[in-house]
Amino acid sequence: MFNLPPGIRALLLVNVAVYGLQLLGANEPLLNYFALWPLDSSRFEPWQLVTYGFLHEAGTPLHLLFNMLALWMFGSDVERVWGRNRFLTYYFVCVLSAGLTQLLVTSWLHSSDSTIGASGGVFGVLLAFGMMFPQRTILLIFPPIPMPAWLLVTGYGLLELYAGVTGPMDHVAHFAHLGGMLGGYLLIRYGRSRRR
């Protein structure tokens, strides 16, 4: 069995447990109260800036699977370096910054769609991994090309920016992903400046 750090283990367990509740018939009330609704919606509540990160599409397990796989793959080494408390603080700052970014985008676009998923936090973790282990080789699945972590993170960020600006409305919160990366970057920079 994998030797999971405690913060990663807790995040995986909570996300899977919430997904189980969604599948057992609680999907609609969970989405109504805990998904991130636009600011001008009567459903918006402040706690949704965190709780949306524990909900995933109940119709397909792939949303949850890919988020949790990436969290495990990239977050485990980050948590081992930082420790549980610092890692979880960082993760939730990324979730929060992703949510705030998404609220700005939905207000600007006058969207009425809600947002769910751990992707904002996961993208922040991906950024931290790339900054901490820039030369670590990552082997992509599609296509199977090895590349250094810094290149993967940079390429993924640019792809998200391109998809957010030019892509069709594909119900993917590209700017929330970028917001998670931005929040993570600012927190890392802030931590480094304080240590100096």
Q: Are residues 184 and 125 in contact, defined by beta-carbon separation less than 8 angstroms? A: yes
pTM equals: 0.91
Structural domain boundaries of the chain?
6-195
The tally of CA atoms less than 13 A away on the side-chain side of residue 180 is 29
At 98-146, the pLDDT tens digits run 999 999 998 888 888 899 999 999 999 999 999 999 999 988 777 788 9
| Nearest-angstrom CA–CA distance, 184 and 167 | 24
Distance CA 28, CA 26 (A): 6
Residue range 29-75, pLDDT digits in tens: 899 999 999 998 889 999 999 999 999 998 889 989 999 999 999 99
Domain 6-195: CATH superfamily, name plus number: Rhomboid-like (1.20.1540.10)
Cα-flanking dihedrals φ and ψ of residue 139, to 5°?
-100, 115
Structure tokens at 63: 């949303």
